[in-house]
Structure 1
Amino acid sequence: MTSSHAAKDKFYEDLHALLATVLNEDKLIVLGDFNARVGTDHAAWQGVLGTHGLGSCNDNGLLLLRACAEHRLLLTNTFFRLPMWEEATSMHPRSRRWQLLNYVLVRRRDRQDVLVTKAIRDADGWTDHRLVISQMRLRLQPRRRPQ
């Protein structure tokens, strides 16, 4: 196992452990540059991957899809029909093809709270990735304090 494989395994091990600590009734929003291409096979990943994925799936994409399936999360970026410049988050340096690598994840039951998730072109920053924004309508319930 190479060090990059070990680092990926450790990352997903830590992610699984962290997600397991979040109470089921809590809202959960995960944002990240997963360096994962999840592809377009929404039939195989029903409830996780929407009909507007991009490109092909890579090993990191498979790891992310499995983690989402296990924790009942969905990739909000793939549920909205958008122009390419609002869907893709990065351009591959050699192929010059746009790809989707950065994601906003929510619980499946909270899908209706997400109004849109998209990449924006003109955000300032020292990165080759586009900023991803997600507009949501959150209905939060105050927690009751134990008496």
Structure 2
Amino acid sequence: MHIIVCYDPTNYSPVEREEEYYEELQSVVDEIPERDMKIVIDDFNAKVGRNNRGIKNVIGVECLNEFANKNGALLISFCSANNLVIGGILFQKKNIHKYTWTSPCGIYKSQIEHITINKERSGNLINVRSYRGADISSDHQLLIATLKLKLKVHNRKVERIYRGDTTKLLEEEHRETFASECRKEFAVLETLREEEQAINEQISVS
């Protein structure tokens, strides 16, 4: 599992700054093996909207904000390119559990922070919601995701041990055959030992 935590420029930042940000984020994502779980947690400052036509593999329809802003479009493009799903838009929640930011005047509320995960692992994501009760001295709410992980157990392969039938040695015929085979094996070992000794003597003389 790889968790990337970052902070996106505001929606009013220059285009060059946004491009630089996503290039840097992309370089980090590219280093993660494809088979691993990727989770990107970010204050994207992104409203992704409810229109998921053509991008159902990225977002659902449970967004608090009806329309996407510039950062939202960039986030959707980034997720599409990296096969990521925006988790908070998948779950049906009350609006009070969707918004992650409140304006200083207390009137406007937006869902601009998001938790994304690679699509093939999105089944591990069982809940995403914001919590208003935490006292964190901020105009942002806590956004928490709940994951359920299934760890695969790799069973060690047990080699089967062959056990000979020693009762056959009680029979004269099998006993003589066994003794003959043993003499042959020891004869080969003795020959190898003599050849090794001869080579060592030659090396010592030279």
Report the equivalent of 2:89.
78
The alignment status of 1:104 with 2:126, answered yes or no, reads no
Aligned residues between the structures: 142
The separation in 1 between residues aligned to 2:102 and 2:13, in whole angstroms, is: 25
Which residue of 59, 62, 80 corresponds with 1:49? 59
Residue 126 of structure 1 aligns with an amino acid whose one-letter code is S
Segment of structure 1 superposing worse, 52-61 or 93-102: 93-102
Report what 2:42 is aligned to.
Answer: 32
Q: Give the TM-score of the pair, scaled to structure 2.
A: 0.64
CA contact (8 A) 1:54 1:100 kept: yes
Contact 1:32 1:104 in 2 (8 A): yes
AA aligned to 2:128 is T
Could you tell me which runs of 5 or more consecutive residues in structure 1 were left unpaired when the two chains were aligned.
Answer: none
Aligned to 1:13: 23
Cα distance in 1 for partners of 2:104, 2:49 equals: 19
Q: Which has the higher helix share?
A: 2
**How far did residue 3 of structure 1 move?**
6.2
Identity of aligned residues (%): 25
The answer to which structure, 1 or 2, has the higher relative contact order (CA under 8 A, 6+ apart) is 1
Identify unmatched segments of 5+ residues in structure 2.
1-11, 155-206
* Deviation at residue 75 of structure 1 after TM alignment: 0.3
Q: CA deviation at 1:95?
A: 8.2
Deviations 1:19-42 (A, max 9, x none): 111101111111110001100112
RMSD: 2.0
CA contact (8 A) 2:103 2:139 kept: no
**What CA distance in whole angstroms lies between the structure 1 residues aligned with 2:96 and 2:36?**
33
Higher strand proportion = 1
Letter in 1 for 2:124: D
